[in-house]
Amino acid sequence: MPRHMPRAEARQLKRIAVLLPFSSTDPQVRKTADALFNAIQMSLFEIGAPDVVLMPRDSGTDPQAVGQVAEAAIRDGAIAIVGPLFGQQIPAVTAEAARVGAPVFSFSTDASEEGQGAYLISLTPKTEVERIVDWAAQQGVTRFALFGPDTEYGHTVEAALRQEADKHGDLVVAAQYYQPGDTSPQAAARALASAVKAEDAASPGHVAVLIPDRGVQLRSVSALLLYFDVNVRNVKFLGTGSWNDPEVWREPSLFGGAFPAPDPTAIADFRKRYQADFGEAAPNLASFGYDAGALAATLAKVDRLDTTMLQRPEGFGGVNGLFRFMPDGSIQRALAVMQVQDQGGVKIISPAVVAFAAGS
């Protein structure tokens, strides 16, 4: 109960719990949690939600103990939960939220935790791969290869790539992995390059390589493919949202490469407002905090945090563009396709849709 409000008035408030790892021993995780909460607060002030109150709670990092935190938040009147950050915490949170039908808007990218009351507000690998494969198929690509880190993320991207390629009647002709941190995985690069060159010789201009990595590792492994004579004039290099980083756009091997991302104009405007409000740059995930807070608060104001409203076909607008939730809890996002330019920098080569197609 807010102390400054009369008790009768305070009882009419709509309460939204925010479960984030505020006390994490990892400084980066703690910084992300603080930034997400900043953005959630920012969204409430900007949309004007005086009858909505946030209840920040420390989720910790334990997959089971977070259930007690969620239970306490529900007992204190939460009608929706924003968080948790980690996918392994979602089942415990949704189990408590389900008791009162409260939706859970999580920042995890683990698609296996979708559904059962959990909606992933984040940008998932499946969404990114769906967009970039659809664009590549429109450019005539019929053969895909993957060159990525031997991690859960890398294998998730491969599964999504195979699923999306199959939808288009295309093939995944090769998949090679390297150990994270190995900036010169020559054996894997040589094997991948050999398979790609054979496909390029048979179907020139119809082959693409998806490289789901970031930073120095991305720059190193993409350059290795050129070293082993992959012809980037014929073979398209594709990425995920991890390519959305000015540091990697200077890598010559990525010039002409394409990746999916939210429209940069809206993101830039959000970052400017965040900087003005909090005196620091917004981490990448902060904009999703804004979208989660704005959605939860807007629907709470009109008492429409129900399944029918959350899954409405036309979706919702946000800082990260148009999005909508599917019956299984997965998210569809209207993403643009960006291309890395020869002198660094990027440009939009396929804009995000402004409305979802009827029946899609």
Q: What is the pLDDT of residues 51-109, one digit of tens each?
A: 899 999 999 988 889 999 999 999 999 999 999 999 899 999 999 999 999 999 999 88
Closest residue by Cα to residue 4 from 53, 69, 56, 44? 53
What six digits make up the tokens of 216?
């120095």
Residue 1 has a pLDDT of: 56
Per DSSP, 190 falls in state H
Residue 50 has a pLDDT of: 86
Q: Starting at the earlier edge strand, list the strands of the sheet with 143-149.
A: 171-178, 143-149, 207-210, 236-238, 258-261, 336-340, 346-350
State the DSSP H helix or E strand holding residue 34, giving kind and residue range, or none if neither. helix 27-47
Q: Give percent of the chain with pLDDT exceeding 90.
A: 82
How many CB atoms sit inside 10 A of residue 298's CB?
18
Residue 18 in domain: yes
Residues 249 and 178 in one domain: yes
Q: Give percent of the chain with pLDDT exceeding 70.
A: 94
Closest residue by Cα to residue 80 from 66, 68, 94, 67? 94
Q: How far apart are CA 145 and CA 125, in angstroms?
A: 16
Residue 355 in domain: no
Structural domain count, the chain: 2
Residue 360 in domain: no
What six digits make up the tokens of 183?
């900036």
What is the pLDDT of the chain when averaged over all its residues?
92
Residues 245 and 272 in one domain: no
Region 193-209: mean pLDDT is: 96
Residue 125: asked if its preceding bond is cis (omega within 30°), the reply is no
Q: Would the pLDDT of 4 be above 70?
A: no
What six digits make up the tokens of 200?
């390029």
Residue 16 in domain: yes
Residues 153 and 233 in one domain: yes
Residues 211 and 284 in one domain: no
State the DSSP H helix or E strand holding residue 30, giving kind and residue range, or none if neither. helix 27-47
Residue 114 has a pLDDT of: 57
User: Contact, 84 vs 36, CB < 8 A?
Assistant: no
Q: Which of 106-110, 116-120, 280-284, 320-324 has the lowest mean pLDDT?
A: 116-120
Residues 321 and 195 in one domain: no
Confidence of residue 255 (pLDDT cuts 50, 70, 90): very high
* Phi, then psi, of 112 in degrees rounded to 5: -70, -15
Residues 156 and 103 in one domain: no
Q: How far is CA 8 from the centre of its chain?
A: 40
Confidence of residue 326 (pLDDT cuts 50, 70, 90): confident
- Can you give the pTM of this predicted structure? 0.89
Residues 219 and 288 in one domain: no
Residue 168 in domain: yes
- Which tens digits make up the pLDDT trace of 281-305? 999 899 999 999 999 999 998 888 9
Residue 316 has a pLDDT of: 95
3-class DSSP state for residue 223? helix
Residue 2 in domain: no
Residue 8 has a pLDDT of: 54
Region 210-221: mean pLDDT is: 96
307 Cβ contact list (under 8 Å, min separation 6):
none
CATH number for the domain spanning 176: value is 3.40.50.2300
Domain residues for the domain of 308 are 7-123+266-329
Region 191-213: mean pLDDT is: 97
Closest residue by Cα to residue 353 from 326, 329, 332? 332
- Which tens digits make up the pLDDT trace of 264-274? 999 999 999 99
Region 105-118: mean pLDDT is: 74
Residues 103 and 172 in one domain: no
Residues 187 and 325 in one domain: no
User: Which has more pLDDT, 158 or 356?
Assistant: 158
- Classify burial at 136, counting beta carbons within 10 Å of its beta carbon; exposed 0-12, middle 13-18, buried 19 or more: buried
Place of tokens 């991302």: 261
Residue 116 has a pLDDT of: 61
Region 102-130: mean pLDDT is: 84
Region 304-318: mean pLDDT is: 92
Residues 98 and 147 in one domain: no
Residues 47 and 115 in one domain: yes
What six digits make up the tokens of 39?
């953005």
Closest residue by Cα to residue 295 from 119, 126, 131, 124? 119
User: Contact, 208 vs 143, CB < 8 A?
Assistant: yes
Q: Would the pLDDT of 203 be above 70?
A: yes
Residue 310 in domain: yes
Q: Which of 187-191, 211-215, 241-245, 299-303 has the lowest mean pLDDT?
A: 299-303
State the DSSP H helix or E strand holding residue 172, giving kind and residue range, or none if neither. strand 171-178
Closest residue by Cα to residue 213 from 253, 251, 180, 262? 180
Residues 68 and 197 in one domain: no
Residue 73 has a pLDDT of: 97
Which residues, listed in sequence order, are joined to residue 78 by a DSSP beta bridge? 15
What six digits make up the tokens of 156?
């998730």
Confidence of residue 7 (pLDDT cuts 50, 70, 90): low
